[in-house]
Every structure is written in C-alpha cells, then in structure tokens.
C-alpha cells in the first residue's frame, strides 16, 4: 500500500513554502506521508492525485481573491474547506464574530460603493490616539498603516491611504490602535483539528510609522506555555467561531488549523481581551518557533490524511 499523498498549496512568490514551513515536508515523511508542494495558481498541478490538499503559504490570494476561491472549490479534499476560506478571506468576518458576542475591536467600515468624499473619510477616523487603516481583503500585513489622529500630516496620509484602496474597489477598515499591543504584544493560540495545541507571543509589528505596502514584515516570536486564562479566551473564540459557521453554512466544519490572535484589553476595559484576527488560510503557524509545533502540525495532517 502506497503512502498517502499530501500536497501543500503555496504561492508563486514562495514556490518552496514560506521559510517558517520549510521543515514540514520532512516532518510529513516521518509520519509516512508523501509530501508534494504545488503553487495554487499553476494550472499544471494535478490536485486530484492528492489524498489531501493543505492550504499554507498562499500569501498572494488577496491579489485575485475570486480566482483563489474558484480554485479552492475545484480542489478535492481541501483543508481548510472552501466555504471557510471564502468567509475568512474578507475581514468583514469580524462583524460575524461580533454579532455572536465575541469582543472584536470596534471598526469603521468604508465601502467602495459609498463614494465617500475626503471629508467623509476624515470623519470616520478616531478623534484622538493612534489608529490603523487596512483593506478588508489583504494578507500578511499588506496595505496596513498606523496613523496618529491628532497629527494633521498623519491624518492626511491616512485619508490618502483609504482613498487609494477605495478607488481600487476595496473595502477599508479603520480601527483604533490598542496601546496594550505595545506593552504586551499579541498572543497567538493555535488549534489543530479543533484542539488547543500551542501558543506564541509576538512583538508589535505596527510601530508608529508602519506602512505595510506590498512587503512582508517579520514578526519576533517566542513560544511559551499558554496561561489557563488565555486558553479560556481561545476556547470562547473557538465556540463563537463554530456558532457562526453553523449559522452561515448549515453545518460545522472540523478545522485542520485555526490561529486566534488576541491582545489583552486595557485595564479599565470591561472586556478581558480583544480578537485581532482569526486565521484559517495562510496565517503563519510558527512551525519554526519550536520543534514541537512542527511535529504537532505534521501529526494533525497525518490524522486527516488517514480519514
């Protein structure tokens, strides 16, 4: 009996996977799996030869979201499932999480069909403090900028940024920047096959003059055991996420991987934490931060390939 074949889907920019995932093929071989790597946009890849296709370093999907979603629906045995990829590829998904009671950062949404004037864009920004502008469809921090509300030049830059995205037909999100990120960083909790697996701490990416552009920003990551409170937060997010999935798609999906990015709330805030992001597509799983992460993910893939 031949070994099961797993194709790891990546992008043309990263034909050998992202550096963080370079050890994954060998880890899969150790699990008795034949690993292959395929660029999702390459029409010559024979996806139907795989026992399982795992979406990983598809960092370019936002450049042509429709093409990516169409591709996902053409691939047999894809994880995570195409319905979830489409939903998670537009950050309006945060509104669905908010509606089921999860603490998301209050967001002003600027839509292309609103035909907003410069003044109307200006009025959607916070009156004070730092804030973040980014397109609703983006990957790896591209198109993200941090600005300061009480500095006129910074507000002007933010307006130009938002108008640039809107003119390209992209919805834009405006969020207050949480200062606790600068003191605590972000916490990422990784769930594999629905179970809590590991946790990392990330240093702040968005320094006061951060502009993401089309470049990828490296994150400084530390692997450490999660506190009971953090796993409680993560389990609450997981429960809310599955409630949304059941409501939207009529059934639940067992996620191969799910990364939940959290930040503690300010001391005077009634919430314990805020959700920064839920990553079901291409978000890094920080496999190189600790050897156990790599083994855990390879094991999770092996379980699903055997089904």
Laid out side by side, the sheet with 107-110 consists of 107-110, 172-176, 130-135, 145-148
Distance CA 285, CA 299 (A): 14
- Write out pLDDT tens, residues 113-167: 999 999 999 999 999 999 999 999 988 777 899 999 999 999 999 999 999 999 9
- Just give the CATH number of 107-176: 3.30.1490.20
Q: If DSSP codes are grouped into helix, strand and coil, which group holds residue 41?
A: coil
pLDDT confidence of residue 204 = 64
Q: Look up tokens 């908010």; give the residue.
A: 98
C-alpha dist (Å) from residue 286 to 4, 25, 116:
25, 15, 39
pTM summary value? 0.91
Going from N- to C-terminal start, the domains of the chain cover 5-88, 90-103+179-287, 107-176
Mean pLDDT computed over 229-251: 93
pLDDT confidence of residue 136 = 96
Distance CA 269, CA 3 (A): 52
CATH architecture, domain 5-88: 3-Layer(aba) Sandwich (3.40)
DSSP characters over 17-32: --GGGTTHHHHHHTTT
What does DSSP assign to residue 108?
E
- Write out pLDDT tens, residues 29-75: 999 999 999 999 999 999 999 999 999 999 999 999 999 999 999 99
Q: In this structure, how many other beta carbons lie within 10 angstroms of the beta carbon of residue 106?
A: 11
268: pLDDT confidence band, cut at 50, 70 and 90? confident
- Just give the CATH number of 90-103+179-287: 3.30.470.20
In the predicted model, what is the mean pLDDT of the chain? 91
pLDDT confidence of residue 20 = 94
Distance CA 250, CA 244 (A): 10
Mean pLDDT computed over 273-299: 95
pLDDT confidence of residue 215 = 46
pLDDT confidence of residue 142 = 77
Q: If DSSP codes are grouped into helix, strand and coil, which group holds residue 286?
A: coil
C-alpha closest to that of 218 among 237, 204, 236, 198: 204
């Amino acid at each position: 009996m031949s070994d099961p074949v797993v194709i790891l889907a990546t992008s043309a920019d990263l034909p050998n996977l992202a550096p963080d995932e370079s050890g994954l093929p060998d880890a899969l071989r150790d699990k008795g799996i034949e690993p292959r790597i395929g660029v999702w946009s390459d029409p010559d890849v024979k996806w139907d030869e795989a026992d399982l296709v795992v979406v990983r370093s598809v960092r370019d999907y936002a450049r042509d979201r429709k093409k990516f979603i169409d591709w996902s629906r053409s691939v047999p045995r894809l994880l995570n499932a195409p319905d979830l990829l489409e939903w998670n590829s537009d950050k309006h998904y945060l509104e669905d999480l908010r509606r089921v009671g999860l603490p998301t950062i209050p967001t002003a949404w600027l839509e292309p069909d609103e035909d907003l004037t410069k003044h109307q864009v200006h009025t959607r920004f916070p009156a004070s403090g730092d804030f973040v502008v980014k397109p609703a469809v983006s990957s790896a921090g591209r198109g993200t900028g941090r600005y300061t509300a009480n500095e006129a030049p910074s507000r002007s830059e933010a307006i130009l940024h938002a108008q640039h995205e809107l003119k390209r037909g992209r919805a834009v999100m405006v969020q207050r920047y949480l200062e606790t990120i600068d003191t605590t960083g972000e916490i990422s909790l990784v769930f594999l096959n629905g179970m809590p697996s590991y946790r990392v701490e990330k240093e702040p990416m968005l320094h006061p003059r951060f502009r993401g552009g089309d470049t990828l920003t490296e994150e400084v990551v530390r692997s450490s055991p999660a506190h009971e409170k953090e796993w409680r937060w993560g389990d609450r997010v997981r429960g809310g996420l599955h409630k949304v999935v059941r409501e939207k798609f009529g059934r639940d999906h067992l996620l191969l991987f799910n990364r939940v990015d959290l930040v503690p709330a300010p001391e005077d805030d009634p919430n314990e934490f805020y959700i920064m992001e839920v990553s079901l597509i291409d978000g890094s799983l920080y496999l190189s931060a600790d050897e156990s992460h790599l083994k855990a993910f390879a094991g999770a893939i092996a379980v699903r390939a055997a089904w």
